[in-house]
Chain A
Amino acid sequence: MATYSINDFRTGLKVMLDGDPCNIVENELVKPGKGQAFNRVKLRNLTTGRVWERTFRSNESLEGADVVDRDMEYLYTDGEFWHFMDPDTFDQFAADQKAVADAAKWLREQDKCVVTLFNNAPLVITPPNHVELEVVQTDPGLKGDTAQGGTKPATLSTGAVVKVPLFMNEGDVVRVDTRTGEYLGRANS
């Protein structure tokens, strides 16, 4: 992998720091009066998700991280691993619980996801921003309830539980934002 000097740091560049792959969030040159230049760099640790600030001297450099984002299709889970396939190359990748994390509850077979590969192994799974999933369990809505007003929990086909309007029934398909877990509306299907 290439080595990047601190002055080359741009938002989105992936580098290795303390053994973990990191994404550069922000890089600001600070240069006090008559002193040497430093760079205050904000990085997101791609393994832990934590954002932290590190200060570097301008002559320091870091090794690039072999991290790529690829669009893949979710195939199935065997209980231990979640399997994905690149639809162009047919390469298959198995992601563990740590990589899939919260994304697991949004994954429906054949849906497209972004698989972040680190050294050719899945590091992070990002589900689509919006998914359409069937309600498999929810209490019946009370008669007379309309679009406005209260919500109730509903379990979706992938196992996620979201708050839906009282008028939604089992078998309905809902549109959900996976970043917030919010109900967006009834799907047109």
Chain B
Amino acid sequence: MSNSEYLPSCSPALIEARANLYRNIRDFFYARHVLEVDMPLLASHFVTDPFIQPIVADDTGCTRYLQSSPEYAMKRLLAAQPRCIYSLGKVFRAAETSRRHNPEFTMLEWYRLGLDDHQLMAEVAELVQSVLPDVAVHYLSYHQWFASNLGINPHTCELAELRRVGKTLIEIDDTGLTCDDWLDLLVTHRLEPQMPAGLTFIYDYPASQAALAKILPDKTGTLVARRFEAFLNGMELANGYWELTDPQEQRRRFAADQKRRRDLGLPDIAADPKLLAALEAGLPDCAGVALGVDRLLMQLTGTRDIAHTLAFAADRV
């Protein structure tokens, strides 16, 4: 081992910038009477999301999943003790390493009782503006985003049309790609790189990409997911929902995820019965959002590689 391998991945200035950002976040929520809560990292269940893979821990023969988000635990807490809460802590996702990904990263997640997705977007903007006062804020529906840049209606577009547009822009073996895969590819390859500077909210996602958001008709009557994503200077920063509270619908979404996992040959993940029990007991009407703190720190400090915001990135641990 060379002598330099013990060294941190980031500069003293970044260590300090991170500490300051945490303090700003805590001040922001303290002033708004949102309570910090500390959620478990090791849990008996994991999200069924087919595109998030767990890092599995073994506690003397007992399987525990390092959590990819505090979402299920926070919703259980909300159902039992309704009040506005936030969590600031580490989360874990297998096989995610890149300039923008580290297998463990810091997530800020918060839930606001009685707010919908649009009111929560406004609060996300205020949080970002509290650390980046001059940032411009844009709002765009997913439909406007696709229609204005690609001339496509993402809610009604057929696979053949998406493939035709996608193939002119992206070289890929498209065997088995679904409509949602093509929409995602157009986002990552075409729409994200062309985003304006500043904070951009994309809202009203396709119903097929609802995850844990309510599905409701928009102004034109199209069913959309009341989910939003925030992008800061073209980099995905946060994902929020007007939260699904219906336990029957939650069961259907779990089952749909599990079917998709099987179709893709991924390991089975059991639906979390404790989350379902919490929804049966009654999750209060709320909106919630998860924000990547390391990415916010990248933008605050002009850092191009997430590794340089971390004391010890994945290649140094």
What is A's interface to B at a CB cutoff of 8 Å? 7, 28-38, 40, 52-56, 58, 60
Bound complex: CA of A40 vs CA of B190, how far in Å?
12
Other A-B pairs beyond A34-B239, A37-B96, A40-B188, 13, CB < 8 Å: A7-B95, A29-B98, A30-B189, A31-B98, A33-B187, A34-B51, A34-B209, A34-B211, A35-B209, A36-B50, A36-B51, A56-B172, A58-B95
The answer to whether A35 and B171 touch across the interface, beta carbons within 8 angstroms, is no
Pick from B101, B180, B185, B211: contact of A55, CB under 8 Å? B185
Bound complex: CA of A150 vs CA of B295, how far in Å?
53
For the complex of A and B, the 7 pairs showing the least CB-CB separation, nearest first, are: A35-B184, A29-B98, A32-B184, A55-B172, A30-B188, A36-B51, A54-B171
Bound complex: CA of A36 vs CA of B236, how far in Å?
15
The answer to whether B49 and A38 touch across the interface, beta carbons within 8 angstroms, is no
Q: List A contacts of B96 (CB < 8 A).
A: 29, 31, 37
Q: Which residue of A lies closest to B166 (CB)?
A: A55
User: Would you call the interface of chain B mostly helix, strand, loop, or mixed?
Assistant: mixed
Bound complex: CA of A58 vs CA of B53, how far in Å?
12
The answer to whether A34 and B99 touch across the interface, beta carbons within 8 angstroms, is no
The answer to whether A38 and B229 touch across the interface, beta carbons within 8 angstroms, is no
Within 8 A of A (CB), among B236-290: 236, 239
Q: List A contacts of B184 (CB < 8 A).
A: 32-33, 35-36, 38
Q: List A contacts of B95 (CB < 8 A).
A: 7, 37, 58
Q: Tell me, rounded to whole Å, the shortest Cβ–Cβ distance linking A37 to chain B.
A: 7
Q: Which residue of A lies closest to B174 (CB)?
A: A55
The answer to whether A55 and B229 touch across the interface, beta carbons within 8 angstroms, is no
Q: List A contacts of B185 (CB < 8 A).
A: 38, 55
Knowing A38-B185, A55-B171, A55-B185 are in contact, say whether A33-B99 is a contact too (CB < 8 A).
no
How many residues of chain B have a CB within 8 Å of chain A?
Answer: 27
Task: Answer yes or no: B147 CB below 8 A from chain A CBs.
Answer: no
Knowing A52-B171, A54-B171 are in contact, say whether A32-B97 is a contact too (CB < 8 A).
no
Bound complex: CA of A36 vs CA of B185, how far in Å?
9
Task: Answer yes or no: B132 CB below 8 A from chain A CBs.
Answer: no
Residue-wise interface mask of B (159-189) relative to A, using a CB-CB cutoff of 8 A (1 in contact, 0 not): 0000000000011110000001101110111
Q: List A contacts of B183 (CB < 8 A).
A: 35
Knowing A32-B184, A35-B181, A53-B171 are in contact, say whether A40-B189 is a contact too (CB < 8 A).
yes
Q: List A contacts of B172 (CB < 8 A).
A: 38, 54-56
Bound complex: CA of A60 vs CA of B173, how far in Å?
10
Q: Tell me, rounded to whole Å, the shortest Cβ–Cβ distance linking B148 to chain A.
A: 19
Q: Which residue of B lies closest to A39 (CB)?
A: B98
Knowing A29-B96, A40-B189, A55-B171 are in contact, say whether A35-B180 is a contact too (CB < 8 A).
yes
Knowing A38-B185, A53-B171, A55-B185 are in contact, say whether A31-B101 is a contact too (CB < 8 A).
yes
The answer to whether A38 and B188 touch across the interface, beta carbons within 8 angstroms, is yes
Bound complex: CA of A32 vs CA of B183, how far in Å?
10
Bound complex: CA of A36 vs CA of B172, how far in Å?
14
A-B residue pairs in contact (CB < 8 Å), sample of 23: A28-B98, A28-B99, A29-B101, A30-B189, A32-B187, A33-B184, A33-B236, A33-B239, A34-B49, A34-B211, A35-B180, A36-B181, A37-B51, A38-B172, A38-B185, A40-B188, A52-B171, A53-B171, A55-B171, A55-B172, A55-B185, A56-B172, A60-B173
The answer to whether B209 and A33 touch across the interface, beta carbons within 8 angstroms, is yes
Bound complex: CA of A37 vs CA of B181, how far in Å?
10
Q: Tell me, rounded to whole Å, the shortest Cβ–Cβ distance linking A186 to chain B.
A: 42
Within 8 A of A (CB), among B132-176: 170-173
Q: Tell me, rounded to whole Å, the shortest Cβ–Cβ distance linking B228 to chain A.
A: 10
